[in-house]
Amino acid sequence: MNINQAASFLFVSVPHVKRLLERGDITGQPNEQGDYVIGDTSVEKYKAERKRAAKEYLDSQTEDNDPVGL
């Protein structure tokens, strides 16, 4: 997939995908035109990791930790 497709799949901006590539969070190789070819597996793995992290965070939040109205 290319950068635009990765951005759509992850529901993020193109600059964010470029930062993910720079940081090594997803992997891709530039082609002859200078565009990146990004591995589907890399993007799917990143999305799954973010979803897992979000679920862990939401599961850790309870009213016992922060009662309503206080």
Spelled out in words, what is the top-level CATH class assigned to the domain 3-60?
mainly alpha
For residue 70, the model assigns a pLDDT of 57
User: pTM value?
Assistant: 0.78
Q: Which tokens is 35 given?
A: 């565009």
Q: What is the mean pLDDT of residues 39-56?
A: 95
Q: What is the Cα–Cα distance from 51 to 53, expressed in whole angstroms?
A: 5
Q: What is the Cα–Cα distance from 57 to 70, expressed in whole angstroms?
A: 21
By percentage, how much of the chain surpasses pLDDT 90? 71
Give the residue extent of every domain in the chain.
Answer: 3-60
